[in-house]
Amino acid sequence: MNILVTGANGQLGNEMQIVSKASSKDKYIFTDVCDGYTHLDITNIDAIRQMVKDNDVKCIINCAAWTNVDKAETAGEIVETLNATAPENLAKVMKEVGGLLVHISTDYVFGGDPYNTPCREDQKGTPTGVYGLTKLHGEQKIQATGVDYIILRTAWLYSEFGHNFVKTMLNLTATHPQLKVVFDQCGTPTYAGDLANTIFDIIENRKYEGHCGIYHFSNEGVTSWYDFTKAIAALAGHDNCNIQPCHSDEFPSPVKRPAYSVLDKTKIKETFHTTIPYWLDSLKKCMANMNEIKK
């Protein structure tokens, strides 16, 4: 099967490139709108149709999205275009050829209602900002096409690639004597490498057959941004930075972030027999990989 990956230069796209190098019966085609990749504008449905036709694509893994939560509030129509219309385009084309769409969504589809138990797949979306709302629209538009789909909601994604919280905190804890980090927002950090391996397993072993739907994937466990930062600093040996907990309102933001966005992963574990690592173990693995890259 020929598989098209969009957003190949992002965190998950880069991890998909790594896992796809393993022995596979499938062929992967990596696309993006930047140099170094096969060019594909997913806002152009005719361009998608041509790419799918030319390469006999039967599966698309959509790793492309607008992910800047704060800037989404003022960026305008482009956020809806990238997070909702583009996934709909991909879904329509896969529906036309009887293919599968694997789409990455987010814990930010939740957050408007107060809760302190992990969010389930069938829970009503209550986004608090433009980013979460447009990602929810993307899910809805995919479902409306009637395509075979796997929607994977994830959270707090980080990796060795691109810009992410781990890299930011590594820099800040190395260069600042003191740092304040919010402790009243809880969730689960997710290593993009683990998510990529799960996607690869579902596709490579054709586990998706008869099991289309929405699934949640993050690493196991729960933590706050403060505790996450403490772990990053400890693993890096950045002992000279005094990291202090603070409330969210000490850092004004144009969007209200979910206070508790832990995802219930029962469904994906039971359906696909997925083994999910503990968040701290995956953080150690990612940071070890970062050190190897530096050498």
Sequence-ordered strand ranges (E) for 145-255: 148-154, 157-158, 178-182, 186-187, 190-191, 213-216, 223-224, 242-246
Nearest of 127, 19, 14 to residue 64 by alpha carbon: 14
Q: Is 37 a catalytic residue?
A: no
Contact partners, residue 80, CB within 8 Å, separation at least 6: 134, 137
Catalytic residue among 28, 37, 108, 131: 131
- Give the integer Cα–Cα distance in Å for 9 and 30: 9
- Give the integer Cα–Cα distance in Å for 26 and 263: 30
Burial track 210-227 (b if 16+ CB lie within 10 A, e otherwise): eeeebbbbbbbeebbbbb
- Give the integer Cα–Cα distance in Å for 37 and 30: 6
Residue 118 per-residue DSSP state: P
Contact partners, residue 180, CB within 8 Å, separation at least 6: 243, 244, 245, 246, 250, 251
- Please, are residues 123 and 110 in contact by the beta-carbon 8 Å criterion? yes
Q: What is the signed CA dihedral for 274, 280, 281, 285, rounded to 10 degrees?
A: 110
Residue 73 per-residue DSSP state: G
Query: Which sequence positions are flagged as catalytic?
Result: 131
